A and B are shown apart, each in its own frame.
Chain A
Amino acid sequence: MSDVLFYVFGAVAVLTSALVIGQSNPMYSVLLLVASFGAISGLYVLLDAPFLAVIQIIVYAGAIMVLFLYVVMLLNAPQEDATQWDRLHPLRQPGAARLGVILAALLVVQLAWALSKTSGIGEAVANDDATVVSSVTEIGRVMFTEYTFAFEATSLLILVAMVGAILLARREGE
């Protein structure tokens, strides 16, 4: 049963993620991304981590993607601009597109390398104590003791980004 569910959720996650970049309408991209988050949340439930699953929905699908939608709606761009470069071979497109192709290729190489180095992912998951992962108390304890520095550093980064955004959006003379 859970094997079938794993393949269903996995297939939905992969398919919707692939479709996200294949849409000409940004609204559909955002909604497909939400569907992908939902499928990943289902995978968390199968891994006996209901807390992570729910947090995934609340934070990513419920809050961050709503802000994405907000931006898409305010910009009101039903179609991304189809420029004259669209028909060129990816490597012959100007600046940003070329860099993107190179970065994507690097990512594929990196993933292949990482997968060749790790062996027996299945065993690692099987040996992991699932009850530790799912306990909210345990997550809280680890986050505020062992990983305090990473946690606080992330908060600081987000704060800096927020201050920067406010500074950029502020009009002169206010």
Chain B
Amino acid sequence: VGVVLIAQLIIILVVFLALIHAAAGMVWVERKVCAYIQQRVGPTRTGWAGLLQPFADIIKLLFKEELRPKAADAFLFTLAPIISATTAFVAFSTIPFGAPTTFFGLLPEPVGLEVADVNVGLLVVFAVASMGVYGIVISGWASNSKYSLLGALRSSAQMISYELAYGTALATVIVMAESLSVRDIVDAQQGTWLGVLPRWYVFPQLVGFLIFMTAGIAETNRAPFDFPEAEQELVAGYHTEYSSTRFALFFLAEYINMVTVSAVATSLFLGGWHGPFLPVEFGWIWFLLKVGFLLFVYVWIRWTLPRYRYDQLMQFGWKFLLPVAVINLLATAAVVLYFNV
């Protein structure tokens, strides 16, 4: 039992460090991809190809002065970034990134490569993500500044609206896999159809996948849905009054949330760690490749599409995305029930 416990603690540490470094790496990817899309070269001076740039950024941020507006609510102002960062880390806890393994015989029994295998794991991800909105709302209110408040109001309205489409897209996969456990859903996508096409849910559920990714971009407040922090209108939105470490926590949370949404999409629609050519012990390589691809799409979309108008966002969410998601769910349920697949 002792060895297994140590292995699980190591897995927790690995997930924690991986998320922090994924956030740092994404900052670099974001700047590089954006630069090439705009025919520039991006950071090149700090380290090889500018790879140390995010670390330079973080060090710079940590040594800045911590400012707090005089009229701000001191307790909530400090609490908000902590909530944001904590929920971002916790949301990843039930996502498996590889098949259960004994680490080449080191352990007496195989351990699952995730922090916690919960039988309602998918709902846990959803619940924790829905708590993340508090960090933004509280920061907006506690700052006692109009830009922050407007950003927070926009954010909460946007997240509530898109959570419905997001949840409905999740439900289609739950109906197909007949389980709420992320591990079971991934395992249901093992193997191939007709010997060539992997049994990934993205093929029968292309509509669901597109809805999920669209709602996911809105949930993480990324362009073209980045209204809570629309620079031209709201300075920086909910984190206008934040500086130094507290700002860094918000920044970290945003990037980790992107990684989480990509990881959930990978597990639900792209077959998780299952893939051809690699033995099952190295499935985590497939997982990383798929998550990396989705993260690239995230950045690609941000620097290609202009921001919508706020009323367009609401119209799109309520009058297009949600009805399509509901029809898709009903159709999926009917097909599953009729053919008993």
Q: Show the binding face of A for B, using Cβ within 8 Å.
A: 27, 31, 34, 50-51, 54-55, 57-58, 61-63, 66-67, 69-70, 73-74, 136
Contacts and interface: CB of A to CB of B under 8 A. Distances in A.
Interface residues of B, number: 27
Contacts of A34: 134
B137 A63 contact: no
23 contacts: A27-B73, A31-B76, A31-B138, A34-B134, A50-B119, A50-B120, A51-B180, A54-B123, A54-B126, A54-B127, A58-B123, A61-B127, A61-B131, A66-B133, A66-B156, A66-B159, A66-B160, A69-B134, A69-B141, A70-B153, A70-B156, A73-B149, A136-B120
Nearest 3 A/B pairs, CB to CB: A62-B130, A57-B127, A54-B123
A62 B153 contact: no
A27 B141 contact: yes
Contacts of B127: 54, 57-58, 61-62
A69 B156 contact: yes
Given A69-B137, A70-B157, A63 B163 contact: yes
Interface in B89-126: 118-120, 123-124, 126
A55 B123 contact: yes
Given A57-B130, A69-B141, 4 more contacts: A51-B123, A54-B127, A69-B156, A73-B141
Nearest to A136: B180
B152 A73 contact: yes
Interface centre among B124, B133, B137, B153 (most CB of A within 10 A): B137
Contact of B137 (A58, A66, A136): A66
A47 to B, nearest CB: 14
A122 B141 CA distance: 44
A74 B153 contact: yes
Given A50-B120, A73-B152, A62 B137 contact: no
Nearest to B164: A63
Contacts of B120: 50-51, 54, 136
Nearest to A135: B119
Contacts of A70: 137, 153, 156-157
A22 to B, nearest CB: 16
Contacts of A62: 127, 130-131, 133, 163
B118 to A, nearest CB: 7
Given A50-B118, A67-B160, A73-B149, A57 B137 contact: no
A74 B130 CA distance: 20
Interface centre among A62, A63, A70 (most CB of B within 10 A): A62
A78 to B, nearest CB: 9
A58 B180 contact: no
Nearest to B159: A66
Contacts of A31: 76, 134, 138
A63 B130 contact: yes
Contacts of B140: 73
Contacts of A55: 123
A125 to B, nearest CB: 21
A143 B133 CA distance: 30
Contacts of B124: 54
Nearest to A76: B149
Given A54-B124, A58-B126, A63 B160 contact: yes
A137 B65 CA distance: 54
Contacts of A58: 123, 126-127, 130
A27 B160 contact: no
